[in-house]
Amino acid sequence: MHGSSAHISRITSIVQNPLLFKEYERPEWKLWRPGISSWQRCFDEHGLDPSRKCDPQTLSSPELRQHKEMMGRELNMARDELDNLFLAVRGSGYSVSLADHTGLVVLERSDYNSETYFPPDRPGTRWSEPECGTNGIGTALLERRPVAVYHDDHFFSDLIHVACIGMPVFDVDGQILGAINLSIRNERLSEQTHRLIYDVARVSVQRLEEKFFYARHNGALVVRLNTAEGPAALLALGADEEILGFNRMAGQALALQPGAATSLWDHFERTPKILAQGDEAPVILKRLGSDHTLQARVTAPNIVEKGYAPPALLKPAPRTAKPVAASPATPGLDACAGQDMRMQAHVKLLRRLRGANLPVLLLGETGVGKDTLARAIHTESDRASGPFVVFNCAAIPESLIDSELFGYGAGAFTGAKKDGHIGRVKAADGGTLFLDEIGDMPVTLQTRLLRVLETGEVTPLGSGRVQYADIRIIAATNQELEVRIADGRFRQDLYHRLAGLVLTLPPLRERGDLEQLVRQLLENTAGARRFIVSAAAMQAMRAYSWPGNVRELRHVLQRAAKLAESHVIELEDLMLPQKSPPMAMAPMRMNTGVPAAHPAGAKGRGAKEIVARAEREVLEETMGALKGDIDLVARQLGISRATLYRKLRLHGIKTSQRGR
């Protein structure tokens, strides 16, 4: 109690006589720690008493889920960045969490070490300053700046054994999305260590906000202006070098106003040849009317990130343009297949069907790599020069799906953009639209999607003008569509429109190339470092059920590479659960190569013939490779023996009747 009493007396004295404690208002202090102003607000505006215990509000699970949905599309990207940040700081004992704009913790990453974990930071608790006094999340959100709260910087005395860091996260429009929080319970933590973690977190937030910007402005040239310090200034340019979007740093540097029509050359001397590069080569831009120059990099139109909608910034590239080769960050079909025979059979089928423009439906458990395969299919298709647009049917609230997918006209509803919104379908014109988690799409919207697939016509919300979109559809789900069709949650006619080619991706526990995957993922994760895996560690990975599949394997190896004390990853570095979590229901097993129900006519017959011919070739090759063993062939193709026999008879392929 002595420490608590001293803390209460100290804060009261500082607030009553701020001139006597000028060290708390030093500029270098206020750059990263809260000053007297937060404590004054706690007394004067919030009416808080430092002698009572901090008691953050706790929300129920349904309420927490609702707040997650309200964060919408940015949540997935924030989740990925949270994982990366936690890997960077976990060795210091910190936990990492994400709060929404109200201070409610919605995500958390922690080792839950009893010596350093601070339980009140768990998801579902709200850390606003009016409720919890000076703290990392609440004070950062209120002051709209990063804040590191070190021990007795807290207002309430029962928090002085905790150190935390709050980093506000801004969306592309400059509105606060939420805050990233790092916390640790460690009375012996040095101020120097806390400042170091603060700098690591600041870089992480800058990277996340840049991801938001690039995802919003997919399809545009992005000019990155390097400032003397701090985040880069980003400008998104349209076809005529007009500035279509900018981040906060660019707005401040160039005095830009939202909605104002302006060109890059209204601010810099015209050197349009630099924009033709689009390869991130460094260029120099000179400000108009001065000798001041800025180094810049120009990034060509990028692939949209999962869950984000690109506006129509540039006209689609001509269909005859040379396909864009896969970048190192976008694995090709061969990399997706690895050494697994079933995946290799899928890839052979996909390559034989290249140019048929058939819709593809990818089935499989969460984490098996459906989104990665979808990108690879696009990259190796004749539409590779067009956009690849992702729409996550489960990540966007139902009330927003219609406008996000099909777009809306000017003034369609309160809060709508004055120029309307193009929507994902039209944004994918000339390319591929990837409908992730299609099994979670509301039935009411499935009808509208069905019409688009049938006619290619799009009618934006609030607009009577019909538009046409030339798109290829790739859809994916981990749901049992057979069950959803039976109980009326998924339209059977929509399924047949999507199922031009159905591929079931095997779960990791059934793949035959675990060791090769481990090596490849370690090379991608570790960079210049080279690791080998001990026999005990590899045996443990073979025995583990991998409910999170390849995604979980990637995270386990990222963590192990950080924890390993040498170039050898040992069993304890994997930190695998002693008991695997319960497995999710496996998705229904669809037969590889089921043709969609096409309308009568030459086009439909031609597509069916292409599928049938490719299916026959895959069956013949697989039967030959496995010497006609029916059990092995059925297992490798992911179909039942009865289905295999039916397909063999259909294609006139003779069998030696091997198998049980």
Is residue 230 one of the residues assigned to a domain? yes
Shared-domain flag, residues 438 and 475: yes
Starting at the edge strand that comes first in sequence, how are the strands of the sheet with 147-150 ordered?
Answer: 105-109, 95-100, 176-185, 162-170, 147-150
Is residue 196 one of the residues assigned to a domain? no
Question: Would residue 541 be called left, alpha or beta, if left means φ above 0 and alpha means ψ between -120 and 50 degrees?
Answer: alpha
Q: Bridge partners of 362?
A: 476, 503
Shared-domain flag, residues 288 and 386: no
Is residue 134 one of the residues assigned to a domain? yes
C-alpha torsion sign, points 626, 632, 635, 638: positive
Is residue 109 one of the residues assigned to a domain? yes
Is residue 256 one of the residues assigned to a domain? yes
C-alpha span between 103 and 83 (Å, rounded): 20
pLDDT at 638: 65
Which CATH number covers residue 615? 1.10.10
The model's pTM: 0.47
Residue 342 · residue 364 · CB < 8 Å: no
Cα–Cα distances in angstroms (integers) from residue 305 to residues 70, 191, 533, 557, 613, in the given order: 19, 37, 32, 23, 35
- Angle at 223 (CA atoms; ends 221, 225), nearest 5 degrees: 175
Shared-domain flag, residues 16 and 156: yes
Over residues 607-626, the pLDDT tens digits come to 556 667 777 777 887 787 77
Over residues 392-405, the pLDDT tens digits come to 887 676 667 777 88
Over residues 416-451, the pLDDT tens digits come to 566 677 888 888 888 999 999 999 888 888 888 888
Domain count, the chain: 5
Shared-domain flag, residues 16 and 127: yes
Residue that is last in its domain, among 504, 526, 549? 504
Over residues 543-599, the pLDDT tens digits come to 899 988 998 998 899 888 888 888 889 998 898 876 544 444 333 333 433 333 333
The residue assigned the tokens 């979109």 is 469
Over residues 42-71, the pLDDT tens digits come to 988 999 988 888 889 888 888 888 788 777
pLDDT at 397: 67
DSSP class of 418: T
Tell me, rounded to whole angstroms, the distance of Cα 557 from its chain centroid.
Answer: 19
C-alpha span between 38 and 204 (Å, rounded): 25
Confidence tier at 473 by pLDDT (50, 70, 90): very high
Name the residue type at position 482: E
Q: Is the pLDDT of residue 168 over 70?
A: yes
C-alpha span between 478 and 437 (Å, rounded): 7
Output the six-digit token pair for 548. 């999170």
DSSP class of 18: G
The residue assigned the tokens 């997706």 is 336
C-alpha span between 453 and 496 (Å, rounded): 11
Question: Would residue 238 be called left, alpha or beta, if left means φ above 0 and alpha means ψ between -120 and 50 degrees?
Answer: beta
Of 249-263, 332-346, 435-449, the range with the lowest mean pLDDT is 249-263
C-alpha span between 322 and 320 (Å, rounded): 6
> In degrees to the nearest 10, what's the CA dihedral of 363, 367, 372, 374?
20
Confidence tier at 163 by pLDDT (50, 70, 90): very high
Name the residue range of residue 454's domain. Answer: 333-504
- Nearest alpha-carbon partner for 644 in 636, 653, 634: 634
Q: Please, how many CA atoms are within 13 Å of residue 541, restricted to the half-sphere of its CB?
A: 30
Which CATH number covers residue 388? 3.40.50.300
Over residues 260-293, the pLDDT tens digits come to 778 888 888 887 666 655 555 577 888 887 878 8
How long a stretch of residues is the chain?
660
Is residue 185 one of the residues assigned to a domain? no
Shared-domain flag, residues 484 and 524: no
Q: Bridge partners of 504?
A: 363
Shared-domain flag, residues 538 and 641: no
C-alpha span between 407 and 423 (Å, rounded): 4
Output the six-digit token pair for 268. 């810099």
Shared-domain flag, residues 347 and 288: no
Residue 332 · residue 474 · CB < 8 Å: no
Shared-domain flag, residues 385 and 472: yes
Output the six-digit token pair for 448. 């509208």
The residue assigned the tokens 């390869």 is 279
Residue that is last in its domain, among 299, 320, 355? 299
Shared-domain flag, residues 446 and 567: no
C-alpha span between 359 and 595 (Å, rounded): 10
Long-range pairs of 629-636 with CB within 8 A, sequence gap ≥ 24: 629/658, 629/659, 630/655, 630/657, 630/658, 630/659, 631/658, 631/659, 631/660, 632/659, 634/659, 635/342, 636/341, 636/342, 636/345
Over residues 501-544, the pLDDT tens digits come to 999 999 999 998 999 899 888 887 655 577 889 988 999 999 89
Shared-domain flag, residues 380 and 414: yes
DSSP state string for 280-348: EEEEEEEBTTSS-EEEEEEE---PPPTT------SPPPPTTSPPPPPPTTS--HHHHHTT-HHHHHHHH
Q: Is the pLDDT of residue 466 over 80?
A: no
Q: Please, how many CA atoms are within 13 Å of residue 472, restricted to the half-sphere of its CB?
A: 28
Residue 459 · residue 466 · CB < 8 Å: yes
Shared-domain flag, residues 130 and 260: no
C-alpha span between 265 and 246 (Å, rounded): 15
Q: Is the pLDDT of residue 600 over 60?
A: no
Is residue 630 one of the residues assigned to a domain? yes
Output the six-digit token pair for 390. 């992702």
Shared-domain flag, residues 494 and 517: no
Is residue 588 one of the residues assigned to a domain? no
Which CATH number covers residue 551? 1.10.8.60
Of 28-32, 196-200, 358-362, the range with the lowest mean pLDDT is 28-32
Residue 74 · residue 141 · CB < 8 Å: no
Q: Is the pLDDT of residue 240 over 80?
A: no
Which CATH number covers residue 139? 3.30.450.40
Q: Bridge partners of 178?
A: 100, 169
Provide the 10 A C-beta neighbour count for residue 62.
7
